[in-house]
Structure 1
Amino acid sequence: METTKLRVNRKRLLDTINVSSSIGTLENGGLNRLALTEEDKEMRNIFVQWLQDEKLEVRVDDFGNIYGRRKGKCKDCPAVAVGSHLDTQPCGGRFDGVLGVLTALEVIRTLNENNIETDYPIEIVNFTNEEGARFEPPMLGSGGVVGEFTKDFIYSAKDNKDISFQEALLKIQYMGEEKHRLGNIKNFIELHVEQGPILENKNKLIGIVEGIQGISWLNVKVVGETNHAGPTPMENRKDALAPSAKMVTKVYEITNEMKGLKTTVGKLNVKPNITNVIPGEVEFMIDVRHEDDEVRASAIDRLREQLSTIAVMNNVEVTISTDWHSDTVLFSSDVMEAISEAADLLGYSKARLFSGPGHDAKYISKIADTGMIFLPSINGISHNEKELTLEDDIEKGANVLLYTILKLATTQ
């Protein structure tokens, strides 16, 4: 058949997504499939079987990343890699990450059933622990591949039950070999739900991602003095929570001063956390994001100064440290152009935008020309059971991925 008439099989793709949606299902239709759990193992086993059904060469590396390789005409040429992740948040949606893996599988199925041989090999990949919901920080599988994190660091990461990454990997029997890590690739392409409202607001179908915003996680520890709530006069208190509340307010106010800055306080611990005891210690995390690393750095400097001033004025101590950061990444213009050409060929509307969340593509861009395709998220909702990307949009996105891969895997 003419390649310009090639399309994915909608029913087969949606059926595949429905199988995924049945593993780790929550009451409201979302998913709880944390990395390296029994639910993750079940999904991995099915995914490996699907890869084998398509006669792909399957391998697993020492971080549990799963690969399926489809040979090209040039056996020793670098591959075009495509994929994302199958793990979810504890109350996650059915599409975040999952679509990137399963639409890639559908692309391979479509190429196989139409006997289309590409010049370059194609590799599907499912990265381990992208979400960071069980083991922090996120994107450990892809970060390990490119050397962002050492093996010792990744293996020693522990969940809230004191189980290490290495222990969990061994338990689900997905400890592979270092020699199987992703390498010798020319491109990496990741399809993903937007997880924001931009495409929907602009009434555009395909998001061509220009890059990923830089991210910093700041740990703020405020220390006052624990005391009895009853006999301690207000003027004699060193309440750690009251100034912490002012600090959190300041974290959000700073976004009014710096365009495009996003700040979030999503984690807070109060000690001793008892109704009739004055809090003596508060610890909270700040997530800071911007597409310009200099703006993000400036925001962090200003936050340090302003939070320290609040601490002095309230007679408490504050320590601010950077737990994790990841600089802004710009994607390949060639890959963006391939996505744009695919959207034009199929007659789909498009828009260029930056990604707010981090993705595996961020790290893989260190070893290959990389790009991402975004699909609309209804009401911009993600990391939530209500997350929704429409079936029509999924089908169209898979077709854009198909033609993008065909373009990248064909010699010019």
Structure 2
Amino acid sequence: MDMKIDRAPLDVPLTVDRDRLWNSLMEQGKIGETDKGGLNRLALTELDRQVRELFIRWCEEAGCSIRIDRIGNIFARRAGTDPDLPPVMTGSHIDTQPTGGKFDGCFGVMSGLEAIRRMNDLGIRTRAPVEVVVWTNEEGSRFPPCMMGSGVFTGQFELEPTLETRDANGISVDAALHQIGFAGESAVTGHAVGAYFEAHIEQGPVLEDAHKTIGVVIGALGQKWFDVSIEGVEAHAGPTPMHLRRDAGLVAADLITCVNRLALEHTPHGRGTVGCLDLFPGSRNVIPGRVDMTVDLRHLEAEALDAMVAGLKARVQELETRYQVRISLTPTADFPPLNFAAECVSSVRTSAEALGYSHMDIVSGAGHDAIFLADVAPSGMIFVPCEGGISHNELERADPDDLAAGASVLLNVLLCAAGREG
């Protein structure tokens, strides 16, 4: 059943309880807290079990019913007046990187809970149910792939092979779910969603640099990743003249420059990164005979992303001829660019304006569960700044006022989508 999202702001835009939201974030942040004030709470560990149980307790206290599916996703539902309508959903994840922060993912979950609490405070009912979800293993730092729970929910990944995925110690996802008591019995697929919204820290520096409070996320960058192997000839650094070398390291340096140039040629949304670089044999007086490296290209527009890939491949051919080396380019990831639903984007923008928050359109450069949900329901995202753009880091910080602003925008878009009644 299609759901119409009311783009008009509420007559009186509502705000959340800033201190309650902050206290919830700090309370959940005690579970797995590191010495530097961050979090180490890997998916499906004992610490993950503890924070999951805390979330469930809070949701039950807020009057929500709880359902857990076979991949461990948790759905906390606040009933609507029309049980035939699919829920308006919000949420994110509460698993972290080994050296993660207290806001990545957790803010989206706690702001969803705060929205429900605020509806309760004000005695507001909605036509459609409102559902807060915790997605299993979004980070992928213990079990690959990332965005596992939302990927299975939306049919991107098959359930059984995903359950058999193992961590570095040989423990399967299935075994870990049973060990912490979160191998739910509910079906993973077949759960209709009316609309999905996800609040998140930006994880980048754009909003802070622009002095904006709310990022209206219009879409997510497409991504194309490659493993690159360059085969030259290792030789003695002294006796071998420069013009007679087949130096894999020199070729790698050229490709790094090429990746950077391609991104700059496709601003503002172009991104190009070489994140891994391994030279063989790794001796200071030996010309590298082999280099293994990675290339990460991103853009919001499919045509521009394809042009960047074409530019990389053309440069590879030129370098093979010039330096008499062999270069292999192996694709490892291919995510198409995504534009979030216009009605969801408009609702976020309109709510930010009605609340008087400074805002700007922005794109997501990282992966989020909302990207997969966009395949099955109209979806949108709300960004708030994080200090210095730092994330996936124990030093990750966010301002309580900015977090409350993002959660307030979320509250209003949920009410518009679910249909406020009283």
TM-score (norm 2): 0.88
Aligned to 1:334: 343
Q: Which runs of 5+ in 2 are unaligned?
A: 1-9
- 1:14: Cα distance to partner? 1.0
SS at match of 2:198: strand
Matching residue within 315, 324, 332 for 2:324: 315
Aligned residue identity for 2:182: Y
Question: Compared with structure 1, are the counterparts of its residues 38 and 305 closer, same or farther at alpha carbon in structure 2 (3 Å cutoff)?
Answer: farther
Whether the 8 Å contact between 1:48 and 1:58 is mirrored in structure 2 is yes
C-alpha displacement of 1:45: 2.2
State yes or no: 1:369 paired with 2:378. yes
Instruction: Give 1:305's aligned residue.
Output: 314
Check whether the contact 2:67–2:74 (CA below 8 A) recurs between aligned residues.
Answer: yes
Contact 1:59–1:180 (Cα < 8 Å) also in 2: no
Which region of structure 1 is more displaced relative to structure 2, 155-164 or 21-30?
A: 155-164
Structure 2: distance between partners of 1:167 and 1:242: 47
The structure 2 residue matched to 1:355, chosen from 348, 364, 368, is 364
CA positional deviation for 1:355: 1.5
Contact 2:218 2:340 in 1 (8 A): yes
1:13 equivalent in alignment to 2:21 = yes
Q: Which has the higher contact order (CA 8 A, sep 6+)?
A: 2
Secondary structure of 1:179's partner? Answer: coil
8 A Cα contact 2:125 2:420, kept in partner: no
SS at match of 1:185: coil
**For residues 163 and 241 of structure 2, what CA distance do their matches in structure 1 show?**
48
Decide which of 83, 106, 111 is 1:103's aligned counterpart: 111
Alignment of 1:134-153 (within 5 A): 134-153=142-161
Q: Given the alignment, which residue of 282, 295, 303 partners 2:291?
A: 282
Classify 1:105/1:278 alpha carbon distance in 2 versus 1 (closer, same or farther; 3 Å): same
Q: Does 1:213 align with 2:221?
A: yes
Q: Distance in 2 between matches of 1:59 and 1:356?
A: 31
Question: Where does residue 303 of structure 2 map in the other structure?
Answer: 294
Does structure 1 retain, via aligned residues, the 8 Å contact 2:152–2:188?
no
User: Which whole-Å CA distance do the structure 2 matches of 1:311 and 1:156 have between them?
Assistant: 41
Query: Residues 265 and 285 of structure 1 are in contact (CA less than 8 Å); yes or no, is this contact kept in structure 2?
Result: yes
- Whether the 8 Å CA contact 2:277–2:294 is kept in 1: the answer is yes
**Aligned ranges for residues 8-87 of structure 1 at < 5 Å?**
8-87=16-95
- Alignment partners' CA distance in 2, 1:33 and 1:309: 46
Judged with a 3 Å threshold, the aligned counterparts in structure 2 of structure 1 residues 15 and 166 are, in CA distance, closer, same or farther, namely same
Higher mean alpha-carbon deviation, 249-258 vs 185-194, is at 249-258
Residue by residue over 1:252-298, the C-alpha shift from the partner in whole angstroms, topping out at 9 and shown as x without a partner, is: 12223222310112233445556677655432222111000111111
Pick from 262, 265, 273 the counterpart of residue 271 of structure 2: 262
Alpha carbons 1:137, 1:324 under 8 Å: kept: no
- Partners of 2:281 and 2:66 in 1: CA distance: 50
RMSD value, Cα: 2.7
Alpha-carbon distance between aligned partners in 2 of 1:135 and 1:310, rounded to the nearest angstrom: 37
How far apart in 2 are the matches of 1:271 and 1:176? 48
Shift of 1:118: 0.9
SS of the residue aligned with 1:100?
A: helix
Amino acid at match of 1:401: L
Evaluate the alpha carbon distance shift between residue 401 and residue 166 of structure 1 in structure 2; reply closer, same or farther with a 3 A threshold: same
Distance 1:15 1:270, change over 3 A: same
- The answer as to 2:15 corresponding to 1:4 is no
Say whether residues 1:405 and 2:411 are aligned partners.
Answer: no
Secondary structure of 1:63's aligned partner: coil
How many Å separate the matches in 2 of 1:161 and 1:232? 47
Q: Which runs of 5+ in 1 are unaligned?
A: none
In the TM superposition, residue 155 of structure 1 has moved relative to its aligned partner by 3.1
Distance in 1 (CA, whole Å) between partners of 2:253 and 2:170 is 30
Task: Kindly provide the CA deviation profile for residues 36-69 of structure 1, in whole angstroms up to 9, marking residues without a partner as x.
Answer: 2333222222222222222312122222211111
SS at match of 2:276: strand
Does the aligned pair in 2 maintain the 1:218–1:321 contact within 8 Å? yes
Distance, in Å, in 2 between the alignment partners of 1:44 and 1:271 is 45
Partner of 2:137: 129
How far has the Cα of 1:391 moved from its partner?
0.6
2:219 partner SS? strand
Distance 2:356 2:260 in 1: 41
Identity within the alignment, %: 37
User: In structure 1, what is the equivalent of residue 355 of structure 2?
Assistant: 346
Residue 308 of structure 1 and its aligned partner are, at CA, apart by 3.8
Q: Distance in 1 between matches of 2:409 and 2:254?
A: 47
When normalised by structure 1's length, the TM-score is: 0.90
Q: Secondary structure at the match of 1:177?
A: coil
Provide the rounded CA distance (Å) in 2 between the counterparts of 1:197 and 1:9: 26
> What is the DSSP-based 3-state SS (H/G/I as helix, E as strand, rest coil) of the residue aligned with 1:18?
helix
- In structure 2, what residue type is equivalent to 1:64? G
- CA offset digits 1:285-325 (Å, max 9, x no partner): 22111000111111112112213432443333221121111
Tell me, in whole angstroms, the C-alpha distance in 2 between the residues paired with 1:160 and 1:251.
32
Report the alpha carbon displacement of residue 77 of structure 1 after superposing the two structures with TM: 0.9
For 1:63, the aligned partner's letter is I
